[in-house]
Amino acid sequence: MTQPSSIPTPLSRRAFVRNGTIAGAGAYATWAIGSAPGKDAPSEKLIVAVVGTSRNSKGGDGRGCELARSFASLPGAEVAYVCDVDSRNLAPAIATVEKAQNKAPKGVGDFRTILDDKAIDAVVIATPDHWHTPVAMLAMNAGKHVYVEKPCCHNPQEGEWLVACARKHNRHVQHGTQRRSFPGIREGIERLHAGELGRPILAKCYYANARPTIGHGHEAPVPDWLDYSLWQGPAPLRPYRDNVIHYNWHWFWHWGTGELGNNGIHSLDVARWGIQADCPIRVSSTGGKYRYDDDQQTPDTNHVSFDFGDKTITWENRSWAKNIPSDPPGDCIFYCEKGSLIIAGASYKMLDLEGKEIGKYEKPAKAGNDMHTQNLVDAVRGNAKLNAEIEVGFKSTMLCHLGNISYRVNRTLHLGTKGGPTILDDKEATALWGREYRPGWQPVI
């Protein structure tokens, strides 16, 4: 294992050694708070630092680099830093940004070194899930606005802290559920909310992929290109294994949130948006890890049901086989009193009860991601409201966590809804509301 990073205290900013973490396993003190952040807009450009720039499985730009390119391409923004614990990722990330804005950003290994730079207006987070909330809270405590990738938190308690921190510091925090900015999806949801199809009763979400096995890993020396101590950060230390980094951490509860948090969040966010519901009263997850004999802990076959009392959302996942013609025609389908709305990619179709098409939007969302990043720039300047403000993002992310908790305890969760969902009469499930932190690394507001 590598030695700790050169910065002596794990979360060394002054803000993270104050007293007073927010406790509470299940009570959403922030759920209904909706105060708007102050403008605090940059005078010319929004100066951004991007944290997490890993390559994808084919060696191309990963999500962090895509976001860096997006912000660098906007006329109202500039990327000043790219940060990554993998030294191999910095040069490609710098090249991506320089090509987009004709100015190279600085590359650093430890994002904490940039938090005291008063020139930085916003921090963009595309790290593994276990780092999302801690980086976001450090950034807000340093006065920065935030773009945080989905899922915004590793567990429900972190989401509570995250929203409370945004309110305390009056910061704009955009969640990476970018479908909220896609014109076609926005139009379809607007028509749904206008009552064209009557009351929505059921929303069904689907995800399929042909992921390969991750095999059986082994403990191994930490590569010289990786700051593994900083990669683990707030998570309790685990020995380095050769089949976890950079993508397979998704399938381990210690760092990831499984396919539900990885991709389910997108369609579940659209579903919750469409049916206009916040808190389920009952959540049930079935399925398992059936396809491969390997180290994966999270399910590869999963069906989750969210009961809201008068309407239901379901999510179905198959991570080991791609879609075939007999599969559902969209990512999210709303079944309503007078017809259905099918969301597929960036498009939609509306059908009446007989299956006749009565509306559609089929234009590609070529700039959908750029619209989402532009929305943050506009919000900071006081010219727009965030399309995926962090409280909205957390409510959708909460569905993922509740589904995962139900799966892990192997039973239905019954929930109270006052002030946000609260797990009722289940100590084992409630114990999964938060997590254990590496000593000295627990997030503090």
| Chain segment 328-357, per-residue pLDDT in tens | 999 999 999 999 999 999 999 999 999 999
The predicted structure's pLDDT at residue 182: 95
The predicted structure's pLDDT at residue 1: 33
Q: Is the pLDDT of residue 24 over 60?
A: no
The predicted structure's pLDDT at residue 42: 59
The predicted structure's pLDDT at residue 60: 74
Q: Choose between 8 and 230: higher pLDDT.
A: 230
The predicted structure's pLDDT at residue 15: 37
Average pLDDT over residues 249-272: 98
Q: Is the pLDDT of residue 223 over 50?
A: yes
In DSSP terms, 74 is beta-bridged to: none
Angle between helices 183-193 and 265-275 (to 10 degrees): 30
Per-residue confidence at 55, pLDDT binned at 50, 70, 90? Answer: confident
| Structure confidence by residue, pLDDT tens digits, 360-381 | 998 766 667 899 999 999 999 9
The predicted structure's pLDDT at residue 366: 62
Per-residue confidence at 56, pLDDT binned at 50, 70, 90? Answer: confident
The predicted structure's pLDDT at residue 368: 75
The predicted structure's pLDDT at residue 61: 79
Phi, psi of 74 (to 5 degrees): -80, 135
Q: Is the pLDDT of residue 31 over 80?
A: no
The predicted structure's pLDDT at residue 169: 98
Domain ranges of the chain: 14-177+382-389, 181-213+249-365+396-430
The predicted structure's pLDDT at residue 362: 86
Per-residue confidence at 358, pLDDT binned at 50, 70, 90? Answer: very high
Among 16-30, 121-135, 401-415, the minimum mean pLDDT is found in: 16-30
User: CA–CA separation, 402 vs 252, rounded Å?
Assistant: 17
The predicted structure's pLDDT at residue 80: 98
Average pLDDT over residues 157-169: 98
The predicted structure's pLDDT at residue 36: 45
Average pLDDT over residues 207-211: 97
Tokens for 290, please give them: 């059936």
| Structure confidence by residue, pLDDT tens digits, 381-403 | 999 999 999 999 999 999 999 99
Instruction: Kindly report the CATH number that applies to the domain delimited by 181-213+249-365+396-430.
Output: 3.30.360.10
Per-residue confidence at 14, pLDDT binned at 50, 70, 90? Answer: very low
Instruction: Kindly report the CATH number that applies to the domain delimited by 14-177+382-389.
Output: 3.40.50.720
| Structure confidence by residue, pLDDT tens digits, 104-147 | 999 999 999 999 999 999 999 999 999 999 999 999 999 999 99
The predicted structure's pLDDT at residue 43: 59
| Structure confidence by residue, pLDDT tens digits, 423-442 | 999 999 999 999 999 999 99
Average pLDDT over residues 77-95: 97
The predicted structure's pLDDT at residue 375: 97
Q: What is the distance in angstroms between the CA of the first residue and the CA of the last residue of the chain?
A: 30
Q: Is the pLDDT of residue 52 over 80?
A: yes
Q: Is the pLDDT of residue 235 over 70?
A: yes
Q: Choose between 56 and 226: higher pLDDT.
A: 226
Question: 14-177+382-389 and 181-213+249-365+396-430: same fold?
Answer: no
Q: Is the pLDDT of residue 26 over 90?
A: no
**414 exposed, middle or buried (CB, 10 Å; 0-12, 13-18, 19+)?**
middle
The pTM of the full predicted model, rounded to 2 decimals, is: 0.92
Q: Is the pLDDT of residue 163 over 50?
A: yes
Average pLDDT, the chain: 91
